[in-house]
Amino acid sequence: MDGAGDRYAVGAGFWSDSKVSRDLTLIESETIEELERLSGVALGPGEARRNVTTRRVELNRLLGHPFWVSDALCRGTPLRALSPPRRADR
């Protein structure tokens, strides 16, 4: 993987700096499908803006526990409170 298509991996994102990011965000494919069923909003691959889309994995059960994603050892942590997005043009 070369980071193509990931503006943060290539250092072009708004929050880019010299720090190495080790955050991994996951979303259940069932949640994406439920969004489409309830609202009609269909998200294609990558449009949920998460690194990994899972199927048949209850992500809440991973909170506080170590788990593997391929060769990466991860630990489930809750999402941080989201604040409104900041934009450079403000």
pTM score > 0.85 for this model?
no
Res. 86: pLDDT tops 70: no
Each residue of 30-55: pLDDT tens digit?
Answer: 999 999 999 999 988 778 888 889 99
Which DSSP symbol is given to 86? P
Res. 1: pLDDT tops 50: no
Q: Which residue has the tokens 């788990």?
A: 67
Among 27, 7, 32, 30, residue whose Cα is nearest residue 88: 7
Q: What is the pLDDT of residue 55?
A: 94
- DSSP class per residue in 24-76: --EEEHHHHHHHHHHH-----TTTT--SEEESS--GGGGBTSEEEETTEEEEB
